Chain A
Amino acid sequence: MIKKLTFLVLLVAAMGLATTLTVIGPWAGTEMDKFVPVLNEFTRQTGIDVEYKIYRAEDLMNVLPAQFLSKRAPGDVIFMWANFIREYGKKGHIIPLSDVIDSEEYLPGALDAVTADGELYGSAYTGKVKPGFWYRKSFFSEHGLKVPTSWDEFVALLEKLKNMPNLNAPIASGNGVGWPLSDVTEHFLATFGGPELTYDLIEGNILWDSHIVRNGLEKLASLISKGYFGEPTEWTMALQQWWAGDYALYFMGSWITGMVDDPNDLGVFALPGAKGVVFGADYAFVPKYTKYPDEAKRLIAWLCGREGQTVQVSQGGHVATVKGIDLANYPPVDREVAKIIQGVTALPDLDDTIGGEFQTTFWDQLKLLWVSPDRLDDVINVIQEKAPRR
């Protein structure tokens, strides 16, 4: 009896002492299915259990400020927007990671967005490229279509697609909180204004009603007004419709490769003349209020290091931010994506980097532009009101 009781006490004690880390990230569905194996591999190697919870960054934005004020945190490693990590790192709510993350190991500039006052408050996990317009190779070959190499060819392709009877529109427009439309817009701005325009807009060095910005937006608005973009539709539904042949092109990030039935049928092209593409890394941080700071730092260092990122990129849809990952670890379709970004500048995501009220306004105004391209002036004025200014 005493033996049984002792065993029971030890068992309960062991259960109480066991560490379970909570990771909070935005990925659900197929994206989550590709992330969970990474966490499982960490558990296998270290014996530390990890629980995964889904929270979109938009929802975390409502929860974290209040939790931090009461010195609490809903997770031990949290994926969040870079501007949030930087801001709340400076306010002292986030554990600095300079002792476990070596920025020299990462792609140039990969950790800039989470560095403030010389301190590293977060780390870059894998990233996603937003390379351009995706199409189905089978669709293009069936209809004798070619990838455009100039703006005129691009417009001619759209006109040809518009005249196809079974298409809703040449390009699918993803709706939702607004990021699918902002991704397209950023691509137009970087193509017609040059990669440095993105940096200037982030820093507030240039106004939204300047000629260079207006030029990019007018090109986009002209395509919308000609009916080349479809009506905004919830982005995952638009993905299904595009895959089913209701649209020919869809501007999306590289995560699309993990969301379609046959990734080998995917082809992608950037706007002709594009010299920069957005490379959006997923950033994570360890809140100051974690119960297990050492284990959490170990987890974030492992996840963002070569081992974690290797497991993730092999799942498809992700591109590593840490150096030294063999290309052989990537599925073939992701190697195609890697080819596109060769020789072009990797740009930060404009609205994610600025964040705050600007981001909400930017997304919302683009929704207006998509259905009322004639109101471009209104859209520019409202965005300018909320944009950073030097």
Chain B
Amino acid sequence: MSRKRGSKYAAFFLLPALIMLAVFVIYPVGRTAYISFFDENGTFVGLKNYSKVLTSREIIDLSGFSRGFPLGALVHNIIWVAIHLPLTIILGLSLAVLLKGVKGGSIIKSIVFLGMVMPMIIGGVMINFMFDRNLGVVNAFLGLFGFQAKSWTVYPDSALLSLIFGSVWLWTGFSVILYSAGLETIPKDYYEAAKLDGAGPWKTFTKITIPLLKPITVVVATMTLLWELKIFDIVYVTTAGGPGGASNVMALQMYIYAFRALDFNRAAVVAVILTLFTLLVSIPLVRSVRDDER
């Protein structure tokens, strides 16, 4: 088969996927970016919508740094990433390493993974129960140390943190499973050689396990980051972004602009900002893996 003919075949088989991609991904993304520069009457307004959104207290509320929550949806998303991402990676890696080769380890991993299998709407309801004053496991545990029970999700200072810690429980299963699979791919010879050279468990972990799991870490970090930036369902079900916007996040604010204020232009601005953030963070991560492979 000639090269030219082969290209034709390739194009033929790619066409359905390309059409789907164009209709369902490229067009909506382009259209969203386009309407973010227009007002509700269809008049071009340049960056006016961006300035309006980025200076609104729903997105960034600097006075919150002296007063307390809310700090604005964008800041809340950053806090979410700052706490949730390292916790998920550290917990996932630790559990995968600790449970490797342990009898019954796969059962424990399956239990941890249940949070991932559960629809996030149900996860949100579960978080509500977990942090509830009367029913919650969190209060039952803290009560052992003399803490007074309260419904953590209804107070501005603890609502966002409750959601973040609840979501760690829901998402850790993902990193556990990926790291467990990654650990199986590391040849045993490496560990045996390190042992012969007198390396202890910590040195083996930091010099062999962690470097060889870097591609897995990049996948876990990228996927987790994407999940954190688009987080919506858990927040919507548990606190609806409250109280007083104390647990609001960008995706929820986008929803409020679109379906409460019926202002699709402002909603498009939030969508574009979220997309840019995602690209900004995920591209360097993917590049670093590609460079390693080279």
Query: Contact residues of A with B, CB < 8 Å?
Result: 61-62, 65, 175, 177-178, 231-234, 356-357, 359-360, 363-365, 367-372, 375, 378-379, 382, 385
Contacts and interface: CB of A to CB of B under 8 A. Distances in A.
A385 B58 CA distance: 11
A175 B159 CA distance: 14
Interface stretch (B21-29, B37-45, B175-183, B254-262): B254-262
Given A175-B154, A178-B240, A364 B261 contact: no
A364 B241 contact: yes
A61 B260 CA distance: 7
B256 A360 contact: yes
Given A62-B259, A175-B154, A382-B245, 11 more contacts: A177-B240, A232-B151, A233-B133, A356-B260, A356-B262, A357-B260, A360-B260, A364-B245, A367-B154, A368-B243, A382-B57
Interface string B241-265: 1111110000000011101111100
The binding surface of chain B is classed by DSSP as loop
Contacts of B256: 357, 360
A117 B91 CA distance: 61
* Residue among B133, B243, B261, B262 with the highest chain A CB neighbour number at 10 A: B243
* Residue among B244, B245, B263 with the highest chain A CB neighbour number at 10 A: B244
B287 interface: no
* Residue among A178, A357, A365 with the highest chain B CB neighbour number at 10 A: A357
20 contacts: A65-B259, A232-B154, A233-B133, A356-B261, A356-B262, A357-B256, A357-B261, A363-B240, A364-B240, A364-B244, A364-B245, A367-B243, A368-B156, A368-B245, A369-B244, A370-B243, A371-B243, A372-B155, A375-B244, A378-B67
* Residue among B133, B242, B255 with the highest chain A CB neighbour number at 10 A: B242
A357 B267 CA distance: 13
A231 B154 contact: yes
Contacts of A61: 259-260
Interface string B97-135: 000000000000000000000000000000010000100
A181 to B, nearest CB: 10
B243 A364 contact: yes
Contacts, number: 69
A371 B156 CA distance: 8
Contacts of A175: 154
Interface of B: 57, 67, 128, 133, 150-151, 154-156, 240-246, 255-257, 259-263
Contact of A65 (B150, B155, B262): B262
Contacts of A65: 259, 262
A233 B261 CA distance: 27
Nearest to B154: A232
B135 to A, nearest CB: 9
A363 B240 CA distance: 10
A234 B262 CA distance: 28
Given A177-B240, A357-B260, A368 B246 contact: yes
Contact of B151 (A231, A357, A360, A363): A231
A368 B259 contact: no
A357 B57 CA distance: 14
A367 B151 contact: no
A-B pairs with the 3 shortest C-beta distances? A368-B244, A367-B243, A357-B261
* Residue among A177, A370, A371 with the highest chain B CB neighbour number at 10 A: A371
B242 A364 contact: yes
* Residue among A360, A369, A385 with the highest chain B CB neighbour number at 10 A: A360
